[in-house]
Amino acid sequence: MIVRPKPTLFDILFAVRGSIAGRVAWRCLFITVLACVVVFTGDFHLEPMSHLGTAPFGLIGIAISIFMSFRNSAAYDRWWEGRKQWGDLLVQVRSLARELPDLDETSRKRVFISLIAYVNALAARLQGGDETAAARKWEVEAPEGPNTCDAILRGIGSELISLNKAGTLSDWRYATLANRMNAIASVQAACERIKSTPLPFAYTLLIHRSVYLFCVLLPFALAPQLGWGTPVIVAFISYTFFGLDAIGDDLAEPFAPADNSLPLKALVRTVERELMDFLGMKPLPDELQPVGYVLA
């Protein structure tokens, strides 16, 4: 996730780190060079495009802009839904810690070290990593299987049942804690739904094709009227369209390791620090900070 202070005028004009410019630079350069070639060779009197003028491109540009805004809104909804789910996960973990302060040290460690392993495994699962290895870093026995995260939750549930049977947890406290565990499982299911249900491919493909065709053909329409002003205008328009397209791709996959995706490592570190502090484990790991304005 990009984390920057409020940009100054200098930042707006020249900032590169934390900007989408680096990812679309080659595409914009290609379109700009194409515009220079078109103007230099005078090869812009193409039939039937020479008779169309710029009016059709203005209408097409407006249509593409509206279509891209709908796509980016849908992508942002996915991004924000993922962030809300991880926020709810933190709420449930904190609530569990508040509701189990009187457990003996051994039981507390079995429950909360498993929760730390769980959030690490969940982050790995959402990013296509090895969730079992992520859990075992915390010395939690995570069996191989299709859903290691759920296996860890089942282990925590079994521990709570044992405490209830031993009389350590009353029935009403156990019922409350079981609801907490169900809420955590619901967060996992919601995140898996976001990851496994991308935006329709045809929808994204149409945007990509339309943007590329528009930017490639635009110099031929502008050159007869603007001459050497064409590369400047084309560079700005292509940067805007390609940039919005790339940002939409990032937001549509909120758990992918991209600059504009959710900072899962930082969210996991927050859970680790709070539960380790609750367990009295020192020293606490440092909070993750943005590197080059990117928070992992």
- pTM summary value: 0.85
Mean of the pLDDT values across residues 1-20? Answer: 64
Place of tokens 């296509």: 128
Residue 2, domain member (yes or no): no
The Cβ of residue 198 has, within 10 Å, a number of other Cβ atoms equal to 13
- Name the residue with higher pLDDT: 140 or 263: 263
Mean pLDDT of the chain: 85
Domain-embedded: residue 241: yes
What's the chain's Rg over C-alpha atoms? 26
Q: What's at 189, amino acid-wise?
A: A
**For 125-169, how does the pLDDT look when each residue is reduced to its tens digit (9 = 90+)?**
999 988 988 888 888 777 677 889 999 999 999 999 999 998 888
The answer to whether residue 38 scores a pLDDT higher than 70 is yes
**What is the token pair recorded at 155?**
């282990």
Q: Minimum mean pLDDT among 34-48, 83-97, 267-281: which range?
A: 34-48
Q: Is the pLDDT of residue 205 over 90?
A: no
Q: Give the residue ranges of DSSP H helices in the chain.
A: 9-14, 21-41, 55-99, 105-126, 131-136, 148-165, 171-196, 201-226, 230-252, 264-279
296 falls within a domain: no
The whole-number pLDDT of residue 261 equals 87
- Residue 169 is assigned to a structural domain of this protein: yes
Domain-located, residue 193: yes
Q: Is the pLDDT of residue 55 over 60?
A: yes
Flag whether 289 is in a domain.
no
The whole domain housing 24 covers 20-279
Is 1 within the bounds of a domain?
Answer: no
Confidence of residue 12 (pLDDT cuts 50, 70, 90): low
CA gap 219, 1 in Å, rounded: 34
Residue 8 placed within a domain: no
pLDDT value of position 259:
80
Number of domains making up the chain:
1
Q: CA-CA distance, 3 to 246, in Å (whole number)?
A: 18
pLDDT above 90 for 16: no
Tell me 55's DSSP state: H
Write the CA distances from 206 to 75, 203, 245, integer angstroms: 15, 5, 11
pLDDT of residue 206: 86
From residue 198, alpha-carbon distances to 73, 191, 192 in Å are 14, 12, 11
Q: What is the pLDDT of residues 114-125, one digit of tens each?
A: 999 999 999 999
Q: What is the pLDDT of residues 75-102, one digit of tens each?
A: 999 999 999 999 999 999 999 999 988 8
